[in-house]
Structure 1
């Protein structure tokens, strides 16, 4: 039974990964060409200090 469970888990993980790749590929051009979709990514490089 363990072999079947591991095989199913591997298949599900592979399918999930494939779906994520397809989704990323389908949105790539939108994010590449639309500045509004990436406006907040500029904040990723700013210094961030957590308040305590």
Structure 2
């Protein structure tokens, strides 16, 4: 599912994933593992504003 349209919107707009293991939602200052998974979406939101900054694979 392409979620690029969420950039700039509040993190509360992120839809509940069908497969939770294939999506992670992290804050811009959160520590995350650096393991790469091509079939996983990573959504990053700004810690202060709660707005989504990026949506990428990995």
Larger proportion of helix: 1
TM-score by length of 1: 0.21
- Larger strand proportion of the pair: 2
Q: Which has the higher contact order (CA 8 A, sep 6+)?
A: 2
